[in-house]
């Protein structure tokens, strides 16, 4: 064996030791990557039903909001109808009631003026 062969064997041994020393961290890193992959898969498996439930909840909330909008429209229409009815009643009944009140006040004043024994400015002179 020559000096070059011995140097080659030493270099090959050093390289073997280096490979063996680096194999342990690489194997551990592979295990870590497997755990990360498994964790991501479990997260996705748990996240998918959550997204589906959220979608159902949002659809139901939109349905309820549409119902509330319809109820609000109906209440607005009813309020407008009641307002119109009150205005119509006030116009229909209010005018004649004012006339009746005016007539009754005038009639009452007239009857009081016709009562005997009551002095007026004309009778006092």
Quick check: is 90 in a domain? no
Q: What is the mean pLDDT of residues 102-111?
A: 86
Weakest mean pLDDT among 13-22, 67-76, 102-111: 102-111
- pLDDT tens per residue, range 84-104: 999 888 888 877 878 888 888
Token pair listed for 38: 């498994």
CB 113 within 8 A of CB 120: yes
Task: Give the separation between CA 25 and CA 31, rounded to whole angstroms.
Answer: 10
47 in a domain, yes or no? Answer: yes
* Residue 92, in any domain of the structure: no
| pTM for the model | 0.45
Full domain range(s) for residue 67 = 3-83
Asked if residue 122 is part of any domain, the answer here is no
User: Looking at the 3D structure of the chain, how many domains does it have?
Assistant: 1
**Is residue 58 situated within a structural domain?**
yes
Q: Is residue 97 part of a domain?
A: no
| Residues 112 and 118 sit within 8 Å (Cβ to Cβ) | yes
């Amino acid at each position: 064996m020559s000096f070059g062969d011995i140097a080659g064997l030493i270099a090959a041994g050093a390289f073997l030791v280096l490979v063996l020393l680096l194999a342990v961290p690489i194997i551990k890193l592979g295990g870590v990557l497997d755990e990360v992959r498994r964790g991501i898969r479990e997260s996705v498996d748990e996240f998918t039903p959550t997204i589906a439930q959220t979608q159902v909840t949002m659809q139901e909330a939109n349905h309820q909001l549409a119902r509330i909008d319809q109820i609000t429209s109906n209440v607005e229409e009813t309020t407008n109808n009641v307002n119109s009815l009150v205005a119509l009643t006030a116009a229909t009944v209010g005018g004649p009631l004012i006339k009746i009140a005016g007539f009754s006040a005038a009639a009452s004043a007239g009857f009081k003026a016709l009562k005997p024994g009551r002095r007026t400015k004309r009778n006092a002179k």
